[in-house]
């Protein structure tokens, strides 16, 4: 509870007053990222020896939720969730030198660390990626393109830079998803952009505070010490990373949904029509509110159950559970939370009436921001359905 309170206090002071400006200007100020680093909001589950807090996935989820509440466009929460989830996986599988070099800078907010998996021919088909990595002595030469990747501008603006947990093809094509290797792709380091990385930034409709773009890799060199884990096991590490990151995504959208519900209570109590009746007195409004409230609470419980299980597996190392036991609980919360929040925004905007259709009303910022996750950021919703169906019905019946 004390952790949640301290995050909330921080958010009230430094994020809430700025969130509209963050969305409107399309930038999280670098000094806010640094402040979040100083506050210990980045790399929460990373060990203290690498600059993290040595905390839990549940704590990272609490941080994502509170930040999602105080910046309901979710941009600031996206920065935080990426820089908690992916550094956590990076620590689990990377070599010592890479960890010592990269993680403390990410934890301090001096460098960004995200995920680069998606390619233009379809993000859901991870096994079908085309980016290649070919080993020459102790260096890998990477060629290809990644797209819809978050953090491109942040890497360029942060003092140290940063990079990605990137997956590329390294084995024989017939190995399918077993020919993928993961790398720490550090594209700007110690303030210098590395040769062979050509980024582009997209103009986005929502959560504009954090950038999304694409990049090409042309003979981009990665030393073998930056390889993550074993060769040709990258697909499995990526899936594990998605499991952790998706819990935090769900938490961030729940934060935003809670904010939207609070706005709704205020509005439907005070908007008066038909001889001064509050619109909350109409069952068409109040019953809908109750439904939405219950959907969000259900999503919240699913999210913290997944976080609890992740802590059992990764933090407590409880041998009763295996990593793949997380698949369904995580898919459930990633499926439910963004959808519940999107529905809340749609209804809130209808309750606001015409006011919602102007930029004086900020509800659209939360709606468009959280919709990024209904659309498919951190995994399309149908992929969540596929994970659940395969596990519960059986993969021999349910094909991708
Ligand atoms: C704002 C934003 C930020 C993002 N940031 C990142 C990032 O930082 N790093 C990164 O790697 N990626 C990022 N992504 C990309 C994201 O991971 C992809 O959007 C996602 O994986 C889906 O890929 P796609 O958009 O190419 O859609 P596709 O894979 O082409 O899917 C299109 C549609 O087909 C459906 N579909 C696909 N396969 C199946 C199936 N087997 N069964 C039923 N339906 C199916 C999907 O549900 C979807 O509706 C981001 C996306 C957004 C919107």
The predicted-structure confidence for 150-178, as pLDDT tens digits, reads as follows: 999 999 999 999 999 999 999 877 788 99
State the closest ligand 1 atom to the C-alpha of 206, by its place in the atom list counted from 1: 1
Please report, for the chain, how many H helices and E strands are present, in that order: 12, 11
CATH topology of domain 112-228: Butyryl-CoA Dehydrogenase, subunit A; domain 2 (2.40.110)
Distance 389 CA to ligand 1 centre (A): 18
Q: Check for a shared fold between 112-228 and 234-393.
A: no
Distance 118 CA to ligand 1 centre (A): 7
- pLDDT at residue 173, as a whole number: 76
Question: Quick one: average pLDDT of 46-55?
Answer: 98
- pLDDT at residue 378, as a whole number: 95
* CB proximity list for 213: less than 8 A, separation 6 or greater: 147, 149, 152, 153, 199, 200, 201, 202
Query: Does the pLDDT of residue 204 top 90, yes or no?
Result: yes
Which CATH class for the 2-111 domain?
A: mainly alpha
Give the Cα separation of 5 and 59 in Å (integer).
12
Q: Which overall architecture, per CATH, does domain 234-393 show?
A: Up-down Bundle (1.20)
Q: What's the token pair of residue 287?
A: 């019953």
Question: Quick one: average pLDDT of 237-257?
Answer: 98
* CB proximity list for 17: less than 8 A, separation 6 or greater: none
Least confident window among 57-71, 173-187, 363-377: 173-187
pTM value > 0.85:
yes
**pLDDT per position as a tens digit, 320-343:** 999 999 999 999 999 999 999 999
- pLDDT at residue 174, as a whole number: 76
State the closest ligand 1 atom to the C-alpha of 146, by its place in the atom list counted from 1: 11
Interhelix angle 75-93/30-39, nearest 10 degrees: 50
How does residue 346 score in pLDDT terms, banded at 50, 70 and 90?
very high
Question: So where are the chain's domains?
Answer: 2-111, 112-228, 234-393
Query: Does the pLDDT of residue 58 top 80, yes or no?
Result: yes
With the most atoms of ligand 1 within 8 angstroms of its CB, the residue from 87, 123, 163, 252 to mutate is 123
- pLDDT at residue 172, as a whole number: 79
Give the Cα separation of 318 and 228 in Å (integer).
24
- The binding-site residues of ligand 1, defined as CB within 6 angstroms of any ligand atom, are 114-118, 122-124, 148-150, 212, 372, 375-382, 386, 400
């Amino acid at each position: 509870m004390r952790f949640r309170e301290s995050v909330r206090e921080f958010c009230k002071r430094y994020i809430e007053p700025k969130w509209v400006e963050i969305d409107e200007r399309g930038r999280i100020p670098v000094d806010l990222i640094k402040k979040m680093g100083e506050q210990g909001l980045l790399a929460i589950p990373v060990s203290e020896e690498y600059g993290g807090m040595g905390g839990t996935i549940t704590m990272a989820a609490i941080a994502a939720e509170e930040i999602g509440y105080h910046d309901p466009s979710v941009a600031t929460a996206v920065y935080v969730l990426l820089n908690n989830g992916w550094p956590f996986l990076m620590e689990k599988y990377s070599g010592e030198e890479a960890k010592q070099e990269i993680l403390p800078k990410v934890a301090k907010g001096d460098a960004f660390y995200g995920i680069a998996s998606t390619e233009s021919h379809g993000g859901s088909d991870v096994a079908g990626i085309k980016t290649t990595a070919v080993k020459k002595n102790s260096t890998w030469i990477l060629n290809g393109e990644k797209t819809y990747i978050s953090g491109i501008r942040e890497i360029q603006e942060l003092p140290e830079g940063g990079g990605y947990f990137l997956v590329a093809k390294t084995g024989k094509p017939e190995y399918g998803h077993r020919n993928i290797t993961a790398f720490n792709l550090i594209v700007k380091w110690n303030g210098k952009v590395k040769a062979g990385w050509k980024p582009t930034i997209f103009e986005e409709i929502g959560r504009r505070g954090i950038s999304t773009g694409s990049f090409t890799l042309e003979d981009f060199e990665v030393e073998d010490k930056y390889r993550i884990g074993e060769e040709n096991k990258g697909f499995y590490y990526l899936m594990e990373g998605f499991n952790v990151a998706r819990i935090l995504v769900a938490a961030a959208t729940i934060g935003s949904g809670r904010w939207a519900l609070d706005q709704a209570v205020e509005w439907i109590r005070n908007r008066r029509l038909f001889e001064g009746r509050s619109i909350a007195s109409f069952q068409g409004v109040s019953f809908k509110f109750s439904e939405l409230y219950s959907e969000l609470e259900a999503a919240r419980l699913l999210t913290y159950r997944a976080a609890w299980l992740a802590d059992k597996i990764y933090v407590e190392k409880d041998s009763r559970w295996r990593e793949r036991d997380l698949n369904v609980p995580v898919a459930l919360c990633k499926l439910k939370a963004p959808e519940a929040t999107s529905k809340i925004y749609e209804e809130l905007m209808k309750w606001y009436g015409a006011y919602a259709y102007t930029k004086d009303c900020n509800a659209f910022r939360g709606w468009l921001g959280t919709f990024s996750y209904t659309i498919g950021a951190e995994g399309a919703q149908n992929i969540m359905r596929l994970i659940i169906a395969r596990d519960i019905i059986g993969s021999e019946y349910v094909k991708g």
